[in-house]
């Protein structure tokens, strides 16, 4: 560890010396610049050098243009190649029958023979990338669209093309196993499983009975639903969230019984007819139907509350809270930032603040409405400013002499109210309801629900711990674990399930670093 660090800084020094040599010595007419060699260096070296050579704004991906069919070609000047041209062509049905595309890109007039240009091609459905060392006609194939909607999007808006700082190549190469996560195919699902096995030590044992029919009489208000999606866009998203936070589930919901004994599900992140993610309370049967149809292949577990906790669960207060929150938007602001706090604190490699901001800036371009919603507002809150866009935020950050990392680590405040109301993620919604219902007893007022990840919720010691009291249908007779998995072809694992006695101010100071995510006692 120490040695590697030393070596890196030596290499860094060497590079900087060469850089200076090139700057000053006319005799040294080597045909390359320090920036040119960055891509072939390990990212630990290339990023710091890039940093010292540029201001943060220069490190952002540059938007080149959008490639749409029947819209001619776009041409631009790159960092390495000065004459570039690109166009896109739709291709036949392909292996999935919905077609794909080929991007034709020609590069010319390189300023040196060692330089390269690195491009990202993005739609809301995919991010792919390629890099070019030689002046040539290149083709880049998108074998198949993710879904017909992607083709429609490209017809209307095109594929966005970004020129990346070439030093990012190392980062992108170390992210090769992240890109397939979002693919809604068997391959995409296998990538998710492989990623979680490798980076978190998950096992994904096959289960004999993938689906259980529950008896609603055995389910009670406050019982917790833990979901794990492993396929498509939500699968990929959850996989990254799991990796960053150390949780083995990616989504949560909560059971509620009304006075007539009907079973309902409260969920923050329920998709309504307009495709918006909102907080909703819907009948169990409807929720179950939707879950069975969900193409993200969810694995679902029911975590029954401990009888003593259930006994003090104030159902009236829980319903009041659920009704008050119903219809409000899902807490993107919170979610992104509970992640980013973690990223900024710990940087599970190869994630870092540069990658975060690169993704933000590309996303801003591809889905401006979402971006404003997801982070601009929250970043403005951190600066105490209003309505700055991402570039404005960066300029302001620089003006104040703080780094983007420092900006990201300013913690979220519970009292912040966003333009669409208070922000509540899936798990914050449930824990806030638990708080109202008296689950935490006398320490309720010292529990900050926005500090809890999904893992922090399922490790709370508030769930049933006696296997003989579990419902008969639980785990289809296979009582290896003390929660009830009711859906999914793979056995869900929830390490340290039901082990942590709640205490005042818990989770306000906890690091989480893969692969072990060790948690100091009483952090």
Ligand X SMILES: *[C@@H]1O[C@H](CO)[C@@H](O)[C@H](O)[C@H]1NC(C)=O
What residues line the site for ligand X (CB under 6 A)? Answer: 66, 68, 71, 157-158, 314, 316-317, 320, 466, 468-469
Q: How many residues does the chain have?
A: 523
* Closest distance to ligand X from the beta carbon of 144 (Å): 21
* Closest distance to ligand X from the beta carbon of 444 (Å): 12
Cβ neighbors of 376 (< 8 A, separation 6 or more) are 364, 388, 389, 390, 393
Which CB, 86 or 301, lies closer to ligand X? Answer: 86
* Closest distance to ligand X from the beta carbon of 468 (Å): 4
Residue 195 parent element (H or E): helix 186-200
Residue 104 is encoded by which pair of tokens? 């034709």
Give the span between the Cα atoms of 165 and 175, in whole angstroms: 16
Question: Locate tokens 């900087």: which residue?
Answer: 16
| Cα-to-chain-centroid distance, residue 247 | 13
Which CB, 275 or 441, lies closer to ligand X? Answer: 441
Which CB, 46 or 66, lies closer to ligand X? Answer: 66
CA dist list (Å): 435 to 233, 256, 313, 447 = 32, 15, 10, 8
Cross-strand partners of 75: 85
* Closest distance to ligand X from the beta carbon of 403 (Å): 35
Neighbours of 327 (CB within 10 A): 12
Neighbours of 202 (CB within 10 A): 21
Give the span between the Cα atoms of 141 and 201, in whole angstroms: 33
Which CB, 174 or 314, lies closer to ligand X? Answer: 314
Q: What is the DSSP letter of 304?
A: P
Which CB, 218 or 405, lies closer to ligand X? Answer: 218
On whether the CB atoms of residues 104 and 87 are closer than 8 A, the answer is yes
Which CB, 320 or 396, lies closer to ligand X? Answer: 320
On whether the CB atoms of residues 457 and 431 are closer than 8 A, the answer is yes
Backbone angles phi, psi at 393, to 5 degrees: -65, -45
* Closest distance to ligand X from the beta carbon of 376 (Å): 23
Give the span between the Cα atoms of 195 and 176, in whole angstroms: 11
* Closest distance to ligand X from the beta carbon of 414 (Å): 20
Which CB, 71 or 403, lies closer to ligand X? Answer: 71
* Closest distance to ligand X from the beta carbon of 469 (Å): 5
* Closest distance to ligand X from the beta carbon of 436 (Å): 7
* Closest distance to ligand X from the beta carbon of 323 (Å): 12
Which CB, 190 or 314, lies closer to ligand X? Answer: 314
Give the span between the Cα atoms of 116 and 103, in whole angstroms: 18
Which CB, 259 or 518, lies closer to ligand X? Answer: 259
| 251-257 vs 263-271, strand pairing mode | antiparallel
* Closest distance to ligand X from the beta carbon of 159 (Å): 9
Q: Which residue pairs, CB below 8 angstroms and at least 24 apart, start in 19-24?
A: 19/49, 19/53
Give the span between the Cα atoms of 75 and 85, in whole angstroms: 4
Give the span between the Cα atoms of 144 and 252, in whole angstroms: 32
* Closest distance to ligand X from the beta carbon of 473 (Å): 17
The burial class, CB within 10 Å (0-12 / 13-18 / 19+), for 29 is exposed
Which CB, 333 or 435, lies closer to ligand X? Answer: 435
DSSP secondary structure string for all residues of 344-398 = HHH--TT--HHHHHHHHHHHHHH-HHHHIIIIIHHHHHHHT--S--HHHHHHHHH
On whether the CB atoms of residues 336 and 450 are closer than 8 A, the answer is no
* Closest distance to ligand X from the beta carbon of 158 (Å): 4
Which CB, 213 or 466, lies closer to ligand X? Answer: 466
Which CB, 68 or 193, lies closer to ligand X? Answer: 68
Which CB, 383 or 481, lies closer to ligand X? Answer: 481
* Closest distance to ligand X from the beta carbon of 311 (Å): 11
């Amino acid at each position: 560890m120490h040695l590697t660090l030393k070596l890196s800084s030596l290499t860094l020094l060497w590079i900087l010396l060469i850089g200076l040599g090139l700057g000053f010595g006319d005799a040294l007419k080597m045909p390359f610049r320090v920036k040119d060699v960055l891509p072939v260096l390990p990212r630990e070296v290339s990023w710091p050098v890039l940093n010292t050579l540029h201001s943060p704004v220069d490190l952002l991906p540059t938007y080149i243009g959008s490639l749409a069919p029947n819209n001619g070609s776009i041409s631009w000047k790159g960092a390495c190649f000065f004459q570039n041209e690109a166009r896109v062509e739709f291709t036949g049905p392909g292996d999935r029958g919905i077609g794909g595309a080929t991007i034709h890109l020609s590069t010319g007039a390189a300023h040196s023979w060692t330089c390269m240009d690195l491009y990202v091609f993005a739609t809301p459905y995919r991010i792919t990338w390629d890099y070019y060392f030689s002046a040539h006609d290149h083709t880049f194939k998108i074998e198949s669209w993710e879904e017909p909607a992607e083709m429609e999007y490209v017809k209307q808006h095109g594929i966005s093309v970004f020129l990346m700082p070439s030093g990012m190549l190392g980062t992108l190469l170390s992210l090769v196993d992240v890109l397939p996560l979002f693919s809604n195919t068997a391959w995409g699902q296998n990538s998710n499983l492989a990623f979680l096995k490798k980076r978190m030590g998950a096992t994904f044992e096959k289960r004999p009975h993938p689906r259980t029919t529950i008896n609603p009489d055995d389910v009670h208000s406050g019982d917790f639903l833990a979901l794990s999606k492993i396929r498509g866009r939500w699968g990929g998203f959850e996989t990254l969230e799991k990796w960053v936070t150390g949780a083995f589930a990616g989504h949560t919901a909560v059971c509620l019984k009304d006075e007539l004994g009907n079973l309902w599900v409260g969920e923050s992140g329920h998709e309504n007819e307009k495709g918006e993610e909102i907080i909703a309370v819907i009948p169990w049967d409807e929720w179950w139907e939707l879950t069975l149809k969900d193409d993200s292949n969810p694995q679902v577990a029911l975590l029954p509350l401990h009888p003593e906790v259930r006994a003090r669960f104030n159902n009236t207060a829980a319903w009041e809270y659920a009704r008050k929150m119903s219809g409000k938007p899902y807490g993107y602001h919170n979610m992104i930032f509970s992640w980013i706090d973690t990223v900024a604190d710990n940087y599970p490699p190869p994630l870092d603040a540069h990658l975060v901001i690169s993704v933000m800036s590309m996303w801003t371009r591809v889905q401006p409405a979402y971006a404003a919603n997801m982070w601009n507002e929250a970043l403005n809150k951190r600066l105490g400013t209003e309505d700055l866009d991402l570039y404005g935020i960066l300029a302001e950050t620089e003006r104040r002499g703080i780094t983007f990392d420092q900006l990201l680590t300013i913690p979220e405040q519970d009292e912040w109210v966003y333009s669409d109301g208070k922000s509540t993620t899936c798990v914050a919604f449930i824990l806030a309801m638990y708080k109202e219902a008296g689950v935490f007893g006398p320490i309720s007022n010292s529990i900050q629900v926005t500090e809890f990840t999904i893992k922090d919720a399922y490790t709370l010691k508030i769930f049933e711990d006696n296997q003989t009291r579990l419902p008969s249908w639980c785990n289809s007779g296979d009582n290896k674990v003390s929660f009830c998995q009711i859906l999914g072809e793979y056995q869900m694992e929830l390490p340290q399930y039901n082990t942590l006695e709640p205490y005042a101010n818990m989770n306000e100071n906890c690091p989480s670093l893969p692969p072990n995510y060790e948690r100091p006692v009483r952090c």
